[in-house]
Amino acid sequence: LDFPAFEDVKNFLEHFPEDEKLFVKIGMEFFYAVGPEIVHYLKGLGHSIFLDLKLHDIPNTVKSAMSVLGTFGVDMVTVHAAGGVEMMREAKQALGPGAKLVAVTQLTSTSEEDMRDCQNIQTTVQESVVNYARKAQEAGLDGVVCSAHEVALIKDATSSDFVCVTPGI
């Protein structure tokens, strides 16, 4: 739901039958503009929520933020795998049961040149993605956000029940 205003979401949802329950993604821009009200509104309509906020901070801060997000009844939330195993583990524990926690590995907009220059990661993007996926699994997360081109590599490196979310599709 990448819309600039709450009214735009309401108008968009009018195109679907009232009894059809959707699984919708709320990204940072919209969540920051509208706040938790949009989550409560959509949950009130019976929709499932993928809250894509990509949390990344020290473990205690992410844990505290995740404990708040866990009270919203969301179905899936994201963190950045680059925050480390401890941060991801704390986030998963704080989110509580019911909701899935998935990690962002490398953003699809990150080139190998950017990754090497800015992040000082001297491997291929695919190797970095697989490493982050393994670390997310080690932390107890449910899966990762990835490109459809990376799913097979991630499944081979983790397990068949490790979730690969490809929201661009």
Catalytic residue IDs:
54
Q: Is 89 helix (H, G, I), strand (E, B) or coil?
A: helix
- Cα–Cα distance between 88 and 80 in angstroms, integer? 8
Start-to-end CA distance of the chain, whole Å, equals: 14
In this structure, what are the phi and psi dihedrals at residue 145, rounded to the nearest 5 degrees?
A: -95, 130
For 41, the enclosing helix (H) or strand (E) is helix 36-44
- 164-to-4, 22, 74, 158 alpha-carbon distances in Å: 28, 19, 18, 11
